[in-house]
Amino acid sequence: MISSKLQDAINEQINKELYSEYLYFSMAAYLERIGLPGFSIFMRVQAQEEHAHAVKFYDYLLERQGKIVLKAIDAPEVDFESPQEIFEKTYEHEQYVTGLINNLMTISIKENDYAAQSFLKWFIDEQVEEEASMDKVLAQLKLVSDDGKGMYLLDKELGTRVFTPPV
């Protein structure tokens, strides 16, 4: 059985993961609209990853005989200034999510919930990868932001990303 404090925090995390999915779909739509289909694919894959994260939390809570409480998902913004702004916001958002995951770990430690700590270790490792991935794309964008050929090549590269469901 999971503590009510950790159950509530995981329910909140499910909501944040679903919001992240919405946010990245919104970003994908903007990128498609401005003619960057590869960037759009990259963000669609990111949205799929966030959905998978929400499902992992959902399933974990059920495994622990927890109660699922789904809340309304906030609407994400829909207009952006540039691809660079999108990846700046994405990087900041992933840092925010890292903080949320770290908070879940803190709660699980205080609650002496070793099963939750084991489960959350995957998400901690995942967030390191998420932040590094977004930082890499942001650095590449800064290098080519004024170069149409560079943007074209980066768009082609980002369009090769595929969704791999988490284990």
Q: Please provide the DSSP assignment of 57-96 as one string.
A: HHHHHHHTTPPP---PPPPPP---S-HHHHHHHHHHHHHH
How far is it, in rounded angstroms, from Cα 20 to Cα 17? 5
Higher-confidence residue: 79 or 149?
A: 79
Domain ranges of the chain: 4-158
Residue 121 has pLDDT above 80, yes or no: yes
The pTM of the full predicted model, rounded to 2 decimals, is 0.94
Neighbours of 65 (CB within 10 A): 9
- 4-158 falls under which CATH superfamily? Ferritin, core subunit, four-helix bundle (1.20.1260.10)
Residues 43-87 have pLDDT tens digits of 999 999 999 999 999 999 999 999 999 999 999 999 999 999 999
Q: What percent of the chain has pLDDT over 70?
A: 100
Residue 25 has pLDDT above 80, yes or no: yes
> Measured at the alpha carbon of residue 166, what is the angle toward residues 50 and 161, in degrees to the nearest 5?
70
| The pLDDT of residue 139 | 94
Least confident of 41-55, 85-99, 118-132, 138-152: 138-152
Mean pLDDT of 34-51: 97
